[in-house]
Amino acid sequence: MEEDGQIISRETIEQSIDGGEAYRIVQDGKPVGGVIIRVEGDKGDLDILFVSPKVHSKGIGYAAWCEVEKLHPEVKIWETVTPYFEKRNIHFYVNRCGFHIVEFYNSRHPDPNDPDSAEMIDEQFQDGMFRFEKRM
């Protein structure tokens, strides 16, 4: 958890928006979620994908992800991470979207590309985080 019981803080969201592309997910004219991605050449990072719990299990997140893939056909490898305890996310990325778990970050194996990851795991995600890849 970050601040005030949030899994993702406002600061994290703002940093993702500043460094990427942000899209609102709309259903029947009402915002129900959002997605933030970063694309560099043939590599894409899914920073944030969220859907309101009021509309979970209606295919909205999956439809949004499919649109992201269509927007960036140049991307050959998509990557994202999610906390170990988010079983719903793990199911979504692996079983619905076709990602594969390729690494498990924890206190004994922090992300070697992110010097702050060890501290983040210790403070926020003690159980660790999964890294996913989807090869197109």
Choice among 13-27, 90-104, 105-119 with the minimum mean pLDDT = 105-119
Domains of the chain, by residue range, sit at 10-135
Q: What is the pLDDT of residue 20?
A: 86
Residue type, 81: V
Question: Rounded mean pLDDT of 35-41?
Answer: 94
CA distance 55 to 28: 12
Enter the pTM of the model.
0.79
Question: Rounded mean pLDDT of 128-135?
Answer: 90
Question: Rounded mean pLDDT of 1-30?
Answer: 69
Listed in sequence order, the residues at least 6 apart from 45 whose beta carbon sits closer than 8 Å to its beta carbon are 20, 37, 38, 39, 78, 79, 80
Q: Residue 75: is its pLDDT beyond 70?
A: yes
Question: Rounded mean pLDDT of 10-29?
Answer: 78
Question: Rounded mean pLDDT of 82-97?
Answer: 90
**CATH number of 10-135: 2.60.40.10, 3.40.1160.10, 3.40.630.30, 3.40.5.90?**
3.40.630.30
